[in-house]
Structure 1
Amino acid sequence: MKSPQLLLLFATVAIFECTHAAVLPERLQLNICKKSEDDYQACLLQAFEKARPHFLNGVPELDFPGIDPLVINVTSVDRTLNELISIKAVLKNVRVTGLGGVVINDLKVDLKNMIGEIRLTVPHCEMSMEHDVSGQLLIVPLRNKGYFRGNFSNIQMYMRAQFKKYKQADVEYFTVDKFDTKFRVGDGVIKIIAKNPDLQFTADLITNFYNENPRLVMDSISPIYNEYSNQVIKQEINNYLARVPAAEFLPE
């Protein structure tokens, strides 16, 4: 896909888990926020800033990879909205830099109903990858294998999650019951190089169409990457929650 949203969602998962992680190595344990905090939201914000350097570089004890650069070996998407918007893509050797500059714009926590909301901004990021894409993007057919580079700015991210508890072997765990996430990229410029030089014309067609109409392109495919990100982020968060008892994630 020719935009950064599907990749930024992995970084969003990392940021979200940073502020809620409970089973931490000793150097990070002081960042745990207790349920009894006078201002739980303020504690989370402070915890994020203190833990930020560690999560940028990765935390091996938690099997947590660094997010700047963010490296993804392979990911894929296969979705059709209508006859004008359909994308089937395999992305390999993805590398994203700039996510370390993420800014938390707003954070809301409702402990009684177990609901959390967060709004983030990434001022700028750069991305490179190998891609194999097919489908249709408005008036442009997507048929290309090659290499992609992009510079993107003012990336806005929003997540809202509602959690619930369940028991397993008499131990309570959290799981995400309802989840919603949305991404919006302010602007971007891309370059595509075809593996087969004879097909560079197609690569240039896609490149020029995007660069001349970035807002149109990104708004057109937004239902795809928002739906995809909802599924992937929810699953990733639940994978982490299932490892640790609820009392560890939210101590009294």
Structure 2
Amino acid sequence: MIYQNFICVIVLLGLFSFGEFRKLPSFITPCRQNDPALNDCIVQQFEKIRPQLKKGIPEFDLPSMDPLNLPTVTMNHGNGAAVSFKADFTNLIVTGASDVIVKKVDLDLNKLKLKVHVYFPKLRIESDYKISGKILVLPINGDGHSDGNFTNIETKMVVSGDYEMRDGKRYIVINDKKVSLVIGDSKLYFANLFNGNKELSESTNQLINENSKDIVQEITPLVEETIGELVHKIVNQVFNIFPVDELLLPN
């Protein structure tokens, strides 16, 4: 769930790189379909747009991404080697997303496939939480404030689709998405575990952080699935509104 903020970056990437569908901001130079360096053009345009992420971009109907507010995320992870729990996270506040770096883009217009590799130097996610289950050998339960700090996050994503004709214009319909990610390091803290039992709470938080790599590895598939579903919904909505020749300037 901590990586959902990067989804907004992917949508933004698609919007500005695919061309002049509205009146573009003055700092954007639209890319063209026949540009042999199209992928490099997309990366270059993102570098122009990155400084605007903190305040938001009205032309794209995008609010500020830093901080980024998310309403709720639910996780239900069972029978894992390291973790087995159900957790609800609400009122999430994500900071650090505006420092995202797009390392590589590969857009194939014939196969309608977009591959993106992005890097987050650091992300901090604060939220209210409610959790019950097991982490490693210990039962865990509680509700309160959580604070997660994550560094060196490498995220790769593949989105593919098909063309659809409507009113004589071509639209893109997203039909598949895949997300994979690797976290360099993490530090987690859950306040008020075990109904405020300070000794149990501190020892459990210590155990969580001593084994954070194993715990993050267990929940990664759930995070990837969540990101994929959100991307499908958001990107499909964008492509449903705008014809492809408006999103990507013709030759």
**TM-score, normalised via structure 1 length:** 0.86
Structure 2 regions of 5+ residues with no counterpart? none
Closer/same/farther in 2, CA of residues 215 and 118 from structure 1, 3 Å limit: same
SS at match of 1:148: strand
Closer/same/farther in 2, CA of residues 35 and 222 from structure 1, 3 Å limit: same
| Percent of paired sites with the same residue | 22
Give the Å deviation of 1:118: 1.2
In the alignment, is the contact (CA less than 8 A) between 1:181 and 1:230 conserved in 2?
A: yes
- Counterpart in the other structure of 2:39: 41
Structure 1, residues 114-153: CA drift from partner, whole Å, max 9, x if none? 1111111111122211111223333233322100112211
In the alignment, is the contact (CA less than 8 A) between 1:173 and 1:242 conserved in 2?
A: yes
In the alignment, is the contact (CA less than 8 A) between 1:193 and 1:200 conserved in 2?
A: no
The amino acid across from 1:242 in the alignment is N
The amino acid across from 1:109 in the alignment is L
Question: Larger relative CO (CA 8 A, sep 6+): 1 or 2?
Answer: 2
SS at match of 1:142: strand
- For 1:183 and 1:33, locate their aligned partners in 2 and report how far apart those are by CA, in whole Å: 28
The amino acid across from 1:45 in the alignment is V
Q: Is 44-53 or 224-233 further displaced after alignment?
A: 224-233
Q: Is 29-38 or 143-152 further displaced after alignment?
A: 29-38
- For 1:43 and 1:149, locate their aligned partners in 2 and report how far apart those are by CA, in whole Å: 37
Closer/same/farther in 2, CA of residues 215 and 7 from structure 1, 3 Å limit: closer
- For 1:136 and 1:169, locate their aligned partners in 2 and report how far apart those are by CA, in whole Å: 54
The amino acid across from 2:38 in the alignment is Y
- Counterpart in the other structure of 2:2: 7
The amino acid across from 1:8 in the alignment is Y
Kindly indicate whether residue 74 of structure 2 is the aligned counterpart of residue 80 of structure 1: no
The amino acid across from 2:13 in the alignment is T
Give the Å deviation of 1:157: 0.6
- For 2:226 and 2:241, locate their aligned partners in 1 and report how far apart those are by CA, in whole Å: 24
- Counterpart in the other structure of 2:156: 158
Give the Å deviation of 1:43: 0.9
Alignment of 1:167-186 (within 5 A): 167-186=165-184
Closer/same/farther in 2, CA of residues 78 and 33 from structure 1, 3 Å limit: same
Structure 1 regions of 5+ residues with no counterpart? 1-5
Task: Give the total of aligned pairs.
Answer: 245
- For 2:167 and 2:238, locate their aligned partners in 1 and report how far apart those are by CA, in whole Å: 18
**TM-score, normalised via structure 2 length:** 0.86
